Amino acid sequence: MTTETFAGPQDFFQAQLRWHWIEIAFWLAMLLPFVLTPNYLVLASQIAITALFVLSLDLILGFSGIVSLGHAAYFGVGSYTVGLVSKWGWGEPLTGLLLGGIAAGLFGYLTSFIIARFRHLALIMITLGIGLLLVEAANSASWLTGGFDGLQGIHTWRIFNTFRFDLYGYTAYGYSLAVLFVVFLVARRLIHSPFGLALRGIRENGQRMPAIGAATGQHIRTIYTIAAIIAGIAGATLAETTETVSLESLGFQRSADVLVMLILGGTGRLYGGLLGAIVYMVARDQFSGLNPQYWYFWIGLLLIAVVVLLPNGILGGLTLLARRLKVAS
Amino acid sequence: MRKILCGLAGAALVVFGAAAANAQGTVKIGVIISYSGQFADTGAQMDNGIKLYMKQHGDTVAGKKIELVRKDNGGIAPDVAKRLAQEAIVRDGADILAGFELTPNALAVGDVSAEAKKFMVVMNAATSVITTKSPYIARTSTTTPQLNYTLGVWAAKNGIKKVYSMVSDYGPGIDAETWFQKGFKDGGGQIVGSVRFPVANPDFSAFIQAAKDANPDAIYIWIPGGAQPAAVGKAIAERGIDRSKTKILGQDALTFESALQGMGDLGLGIITVSNYDFNHDSPLNHDFVKAYNDEFHRNPDIFSIGGYDGMHLIYESLKKTGGKTDGDSLIAAAKGMSWESPRGPMSIDPETRDVVQTVYIRRVEKTPNGLRNVEFDKVLNVKDPAKAMKN
Amino acid sequence: MPPVFGVLFDGVAYGMLLFLMSVGLSVTLGMMNFVNLAHCSFAMLGGYVTITLMNAMGWPFLATLPIAFIAAAAASVVLERVFFRRFYNASELDQCLLTIGIVFVSIATAAYIYGTDQQPLQLPTYLHGSFNYAGLSFAVYRLFLIVVAVVITVALVLGLEATRFGAQVRAAVNNQRMARGLGINVDGLFAITFALGSGLAGLGGALAIAMLGLDPSFAFTYLIYVLIVVSVGGLGSIAGSFAAAMLLGVSDMAGKYYVPAFGSFLIYLVMLLLLIWRPTGIFGRR
C-alpha cells in the first residue's frame, strides 16, 4: 500500500478518481468482442447486463456489508415494468430504462426500511423471503405478468430510431455495454466520495459509525435504493434486448447466481464484480457446451478452487500477483 | 453507417454459412433442451428419442448429413433459450431448431424462428399458442387442451357427474384446469369445487382432505412429474379416500412409471389421459420399446416419443424438399404430413401446424409386468380444441 | 374428530422431518459460525445410500437407516478435515462460495451415478397404509417418522443436558472464546458435532424419500426450507429448531387447508413476520 500525503480530503478523492491505465485497458478490451468474436455478441450482451446487476449487488454487499439473497427482486421489477410498458404500446428503449429504474428504485426504497434494521442471518433470510414472496405474487398475478409462460408481446423500438435489435447481437451488445459504462461511471463517482467512505465505515463497524455522527440508517436506505435502481436498469436492459420476461427474472436462482459471481470476482472493488460476471458466464457457457449434462461439476470445482487459492476473489488474486511482480522487478 | 456494416456483416455470415453448409452437404439441427437442472430427466428422455431415431434411420437424408448441435437450456430461462437459438443459427450455422420441453423457452425461440425464417420443431412444450408464434413452427408432442378437454368430455359422458378439481398453480396447470372444466361442463357435468396448489408443494394432505370433504364422484388432479405424483397417491390413501366411490382422474404425469413405482398399489384404478404410453399395444410400439430398452435400459415416455416423432418429421420433410433447408420449403413439406408412429396414427394439421393424433384414456391395472397404464378407450383425430374453437 | 386434525397430524410429521434435516445446521452455525450450505448434500447422500442398499443389495429399510447416518457423518468428517477446517475464520461469503461449490459437485455426481429421475422406494409392508382412529385415518409411515424424531430429540436433549460432552457443547455455543480459555478442545468438539449434525441430516434424507422423493436436485430444493427452520428457530438451539420446524410444518398445512389461495405465501410470510419480531430466532441468543 503506497503511502501518499494529501493536502486535504478533496485531494484524496481527486487521487482516487484518477483513471488507472489498467481501467482504460479494461474498457477498451470490452470493445474487442465486436472484432474478435462477432459470433458471441449475444452472449456478450447478456454478460454486460449481468455485470451491471453484479455491480448493483456490490454496492450493497461489497461496500456496505448488506448480504442479500433476494436482489433479483429489483432486477425483475425493472424487467416486468419495461415489458408491460412495451406491451401496452410504448417500446422506446431509453425511456424504458428510466421507467424500469424508477419502479425498481421505488420498491427498493420501500423495502429498505425493513432491510436497514437487520443484520447477519436474519437479514439474509428476510431478503430471501421478500424475493420468494414476490415470485409467488407474480405467479398469482398471471393476468398481469403472464405467469409461468412469461410476458408476451414485447417489442422494443429502434434506438434513436436508427439501430434495430438484430439477430446477430451487434445492437444488443453496443447498447448493453453503453448502459453498463454510463452506470459504472456514476457508481465509481459515488464510491469515491464522502458517502462512499461512510458506507465502508458502516461495513467495517456499523455500531461505531453513529459515534462519529454518520446517519447509518439513512445511508443504508440510500445505497439500497440506488442499488435497486441499478438492478432495475439491468433488468430493463435484459427485457429490451431479449424481448422476453419471465418469473425467473425475479427468482432465487438469479439472486444466488449473482451472489456467487460477486464473491468469485471479489467484493468491494467495483471491477471485481464485473470480472466475476465475465468469468462465471463464460465458464458456464463453455462448460455447458462441452458437457451439457454435468457442467455443474466443473463450475463447482471452479468455485472451490477460487475460494481455496484466491481468498479475495479473482480480482484479489490478480492484485496479489501484480504486487508480487512489482516487488520482484 | 452502422446499419450498412451490420447488414454487410450479416449478409456475409449468411452467405458463408449457407455456402459452408451446402458445400459439405450437412444439415445442422440446433437441439435446445434442458440437459441440466430440474428438468434434466425430461431432457435426457427427449434426447434418447432423438438418438434412437437417428440410430435406426442413419444420419443421412436426401444426400445430406444430419448433424446435431446440442445446447443446454438449464431449465426455465427464455432469455437463455433465445440466445442459444441465435447462437445456433449465427455461430453454428443451424438450419433447423428443435427440442423445447418448456413453454416459456419455446415462446422465446419462436421469435428467432420467425425472424430468421427457420423451421422449428417443438417436441414437448404443450401450450396451445406456441405454434402461433412463428409460421415455421410445427409440433410433434401434444397440447394441454387437446388432452384435458378430451378427458373432461369423456368423464361427463361416462357416468361422472360431480368433480373436484385440483391443479398446480402455474401456466400448464391453469391451462389444464380451464380446458378440463370446459370439457366436463360441455359434457353436462358439474364442478363442485376447485383449488390450486403452490408449485413447489411437497405435501398434499390438506388439499386432499378438502377434496374429500366436498364428496365428489371424482377428483381431477393435474401436477407436473417428479416427486409430486407419488406424494399425491400417498396423501389420497392416507386421508382415507374411498376409491370405490371416488375416482381419480388426471393427465399422464400422475401415473408416469416413476410415479407408479413410488405409489405402488395405491395407484390402481387411477384414470389418466395421454397421447402415448410405452404399454400401448401395437407391433410398431413393441419394436420401438424393445429398441429403446436395449439402447438406454429404461422405458420410453412422452418426452421420448416427442423427440422420436420430431426427428421423423424433420427427416421426412427433408426428403420431400429434396434436401432444401430453408424455412418456407420445410414447413410447406411438413404441413399435412401424416404417419403411423409407435403412439398410433398422427399428422400435422396444415392450417395450424399443430399435431393431430389419437388421445387415449387409460386406467392403472395390474399386469404380468407390474402396474401399467392400460388403454381402454380412445378418441381419434383430436385437433387442438383451443385453436379449433377460435375459428 | 374434525378432519383438520388429520391434516395437523401430517403437518407435525412433515415438521419432524424438517427438524431432523435442520438441527445439525443450527448447532454448527451457532457453535462455529460456519455457513455450511452443503448441509442438504449430506441429507441427499443419506437418501442415496438407503436407495443403493435397498434396491441394489436388497437390505431391509430399517437396517439402512443407521448406515445412512454413518455414511453422511463419515463424509462430513472427511470434508471437514480436508476443507472446512481451514475456513473457520474465513469470511462468511467465502464459506458460502466454498459450500455452494460442494453442492454443485454433489448434484452433478449424483446425476452421473444415479441419473436424473426420481428414485423409487418400496417401504416394508408394516410401514404401509394407515390406521383409523376417531373417524380419521392416519398414515403409519408418518407415525413412524414422528416416533423416530421424538426419540432422537429426547436423546439429543438428554445428551446436551446430562452429559459432560453436552455441557462442553453448550459452553462452546454460548461463548467460544471463554470455552477455549477454560481448556475445552473446541475444534475437536466441533468436529464431532459437525459429524453428528451431518449424520442426522443423512438420516433425515433417508427418511424423507418416502415422503418427499429423491433426485439430484434435492440438495438445493430443501436447502431453503432448512435455512428457514434454522433462522426462525435460532442458531445453536435444538429447542429452537424443533419449535420452528413444528410451527412451519403445522402452519403450512393449516394454511393450505383453510386458505388454499395463500398456500405458497404462508410459509414465507410466517418466516418474515417471525424474523422481524425476533431477528435472532425464537430461541436465539445475542
Tens-place pLDDT, residues B59-97: 999 999 999 999 999 888 999 999 999 999 998 999 999
Q: How close is the nearest chain C Cα to the Cα of B296, in Å?
A: 12
Alpha-carbon distance of A169 to B103, in angstroms, equals 24
Residue A318 has pLDDT above 50, yes or no: yes
Determine the residue among A149, A254, A297 to mutate to test chain B binding: the one whose Cβ has the most chain B Cβ atoms within 10 Å.
A149
**Hey, what amino acid is at A93?**
P
pLDDT of residue B6: 42
Q: Are B311 and B49 in contact (CB under 8 A)?
A: yes
**Residue A152 is nearest to which of B10, B79, B107, comparing CB atoms?**
B107
Cell matching residue B197: 396448489
Residues in a beta bridge with B67: B28
Alpha-carbon distance of C215 to C120, in angstroms, equals 10
**Residue B127 is nearest to which of A149, A168, A292, comparing CB atoms?**
A149
Alpha-carbon distance of A161 to B55, in angstroms, equals 51
Alpha-carbon distance of A314 to A321, in angstroms, equals 10
Which chain A residues touch B129 with a CB distance below 8 Å?
152
Cell matching residue C47: 437418501
Q: Are A246 and A127 in contact (CB under 8 A)?
A: no
**Residue C97 is nearest to which of A124, A139, A260, comparing CB atoms?**
A260
Residue C1: partners with Cβ closer than 8 Å, 6 or more residues away = C134, C135, C136
**Residue A297 is nearest to which of C87, C109, C230, comparing CB atoms?**
C109
Closest-CA residue of chain C to A258: C97
Q: Are C1 and C135 in contact (CB under 8 A)?
A: yes
**3-class DSSP state of B99:** strand
Q: What's the whole-number mean pLDDT along residues B203-215?
A: 88
pLDDT of residue B391: 58
B99 and B200 in one domain? no
B309 and B378 in one domain? no
Residue A329 has pLDDT above 70, yes or no: no
Q: What's the whole-number mean pLDDT along residues A300-323?
A: 87
Ranking A149-163, B130-144, B353-367, C191-205 by mean pLDDT, the lowest is A149-163
Closest-CA residue of chain A to B114: A167
Alpha-carbon distance of B370 to B264, in angstroms, equals 10
Residue C80 near chain B (CB below 8 Å) = no
Residue C129 has pLDDT above 80, yes or no: no
CB contact under 8 A, C263 and B198: yes
Closest-CA residue of chain C to B44: C116
B239 and B267 in one domain? yes
CB contact under 8 A, B35 and A42: no
Q: How close is the nearest chain B Cα to the Cα of C34, in Å?
A: 27
Alpha-carbon distance of A266 to A314, in angstroms, equals 6
Instruction: State the CATH number of the domain containing residue B307.
Output: 3.40.50.2300
Q: How close is the nearest chain C Cα to the Cα of A98, in Å?
A: 31
CB contact under 8 A, A132 and C224: yes
Residue B7 has pLDDT above 60, yes or no: no
B249 and B377 in one domain? yes
Alpha-carbon distance of C285 to C274, in angstroms, equals 15
Which DSSP category does B224 fall into?
-
Which chain B residues touch C212 with a CB distance below 8 Å?
202, 227, 231
Residue B16 near chain A (CB below 8 Å) = no
Which chain B residues touch A142 with a CB distance below 8 Å?
171, 174
Alpha-carbon distance of C107 to C100, in angstroms, equals 11
Q: What's the whole-number mean pLDDT along residues B107-135?
A: 94
Longest dimension (CA), chain A: 65
CB contact under 8 A, A295 and B71: no
pLDDT of residue C56: 87
Secondary structure, 3-state, chain C? CCCHHHHHHHHHHHHHHHHHHHHHHHHHHHHHCCCCCCHHHHHHHHHHHHHHHHHHCCCCHHHHHHHHHHHHHHHHHHHHHHCHHHHCCCCHHHHHHHHHHHHHHHHHHHHHHHCCCCCCCCCCHHHCCEEEECCEEEEHHHHHHHHHHHHHHHHHHHHHHHCHHHHHHHHHHHCHHHHHHCCCCHHHHHHHHHHHHHHHHHHHHHHHHHHHCCCCCHHHHCHHHHHHHHHHHCCCCHHHHHHHHHHHHHHHHHHHHHCHHHHHHHHHHHHHHHHHHCCCCCCCCC
Residues in a beta bridge with B196: B167
B220 and B182 in one domain? yes
Q: Which domain holds residue B112?
A: 2-142+282-353
Cell matching residue A270: 467495483
Confidence of residue B16 (pLDDT cuts 50, 70, 90): very low
Instruction: Express each pLDDT in A53-111 by its tens digit.
Output: 999 999 999 888 888 989 999 999 999 999 999 999 998 999 999 999 999 999 999 99
B288 and B268 in one domain? no
Residue B20 has pLDDT above 80, yes or no: no
Q: What's the whole-number mean pLDDT along residues C8-20?
A: 91
**Residue B205 is nearest to which of C7, C216, C261, comparing CB atoms?**
C7
**Residue B6 is nearest to which of A152, A166, A238, comparing CB atoms?**
A166
Instruction: Output the average pLDDT for chain B.
Output: 89
Residue numbers of A between 277 and 296 with CB closer than 8 Å to B: 288-289, 292-296
Cell matching residue C268: 414465507
Residues in a beta bridge with B362: B272, B375
Residues in a beta bridge with B219: B164, B248
Centroid of chain to Cα B237? 29
**Residue C253 is nearest to which of B205, B261, B264, comparing CB atoms?**
B205
B386 and B239 in one domain? yes
Residue C271 near chain A (CB below 8 Å) = yes
B313 and B254 in one domain? no
Residues in a beta bridge with C35: none
Instruction: Express each pLDDT in B346-382 by its tens digit.
Output: 999 999 999 999 999 999 999 998 899 999 999 999 9
pLDDT of residue B1: 47
Q: How close is the nearest chain B Cα to the Cα of C153, in Å?
A: 23
Instruction: Output the average pLDDT for chain C.
Output: 88
Instruction: Express each pLDDT in C252-276 by its tens digit.
Output: 888 888 888 777 788 889 899 999 8
Q: How close is the nearest chain A Cα to the Cα of B91, in Å?
A: 5
pTM: 0.87
**Residue C272 is nearest to which of A124, A126, A267, comparing CB atoms?**
A126
Chain B: touching chains (3 or more CB pairs < 8 Å): A, C
Dump strand ranges (E) for B266-354: 271-274, 338-341, 344-348
Which chain B residues touch A39 with a CB distance below 8 Å?
87, 90-91
Alpha-carbon distance of B178 to B193, in angstroms, equals 13
Residue C172 near chain A (CB below 8 Å) = no
Which DSSP category does B133 fall into?
S
B349 and B252 in one domain? no
Q: Which of A311, A247, A201 is nearest to A83 (CA)?
A: A247
**Residue B72 is nearest to which of A38, A168, A292, comparing CB atoms?**
A292
B327 burial (CB, 10 Å; 0-12 / 13-18 / 19+) is buried
Which chain B residues touch A246 with a CB distance below 8 Å?
76-79, 104
Ranking A75-89, A175-189, B35-49, B124-138 by mean pLDDT, the lowest is B35-49
Which chain C residues touch A254 with a CB distance below 8 Å?
none
What percent of chain C lies above the pLDDT cut of 90? Answer: 36
pLDDT of residue B236: 87
Q: What's the whole-number mean pLDDT along residues B278-290?
A: 94
Determine the residue among B15, B47, B72 to mutate to test chain A binding: the one whose Cβ has the most chain A Cβ atoms within 10 Å.
B72
Secondary structure, 3-state, B337-372? CEEEECCEEEEECCCCCCEEEEEEEEEEEEECCEEE
Residue B71 near chain A (CB below 8 Å) = yes
Confidence of residue A2 (pLDDT cuts 50, 70, 90): low
Alpha-carbon distance of A133 to A45, in angstroms, equals 29
Q: How close is the nearest chain B Cα to the Cα of A55, in Å?
A: 20
Instruction: Express each pLDDT in C50-67 by its tens digit.
Output: 999 998 888 889 999 999
What percent of chain C lies above the pLDDT cut of 70? Answer: 99
Q: Are B237 and C129 in contact (CB under 8 A)?
A: yes
Q: How close is the nearest chain B Cα to the Cα of A293, in Å?
A: 5
Instruction: Express each pLDDT in A4-42 by its tens digit.
Output: 777 887 888 888 788 888 889 999 999 999 888 888 899
Q: How close is the nearest chain C Cα to the Cα of B202, in Å?
A: 6
Cell matching residue B251: 393427465
B195 and B317 in one domain? no
Confidence of residue B9 (pLDDT cuts 50, 70, 90): very low
- Higher model confidence: residue B157 or residue C2? B157
**Residue A244 is nearest to which of B35, B82, B87, comparing CB atoms?**
B82
Alpha-carbon distance of A270 to A262, in angstroms, equals 9
C-beta neighbour count of B266 within 10 angstroms? 23
Q: Which of B132, B62, B92, B108 is nearest to B314 (CA)?
A: B62
Domain total in chain B: 2
CB pairs under 8 A between B and C: 112
Q: What's the whole-number mean pLDDT along residues C241-255?
A: 89
B158 and B124 in one domain? no
Chain A: touching chains (3 or more CB pairs < 8 Å): B, C
Residue A65: partners with Cβ closer than 8 Å, 6 or more residues away = A202, A203, A204, A206
Q: Strands B338-341 and B344-348, how do they pair?
A: antiparallel
B237 and B348 in one domain? no
Q: How close is the nearest chain A Cα to the Cα of C178, in Å?
A: 22
Q: What's the whole-number mean pLDDT along residues B116-141?
A: 94
Instruction: Express each pLDDT in C80-104 by its tens digit.
Output: 988 888 888 888 888 888 999 999 9
Residue numbers of C between 76 and 135 with CB closer than 8 Å to A: 83, 86-87, 90, 92-94, 96-98, 100-109, 111-112
Produce one character per residue of A277-286: b if its CB has 16 or more CB atoms within 10 Å, e if not.
bbbbbebbbe
Q: How close is the nearest chain C Cα to the Cα of A49, in Å?
A: 22
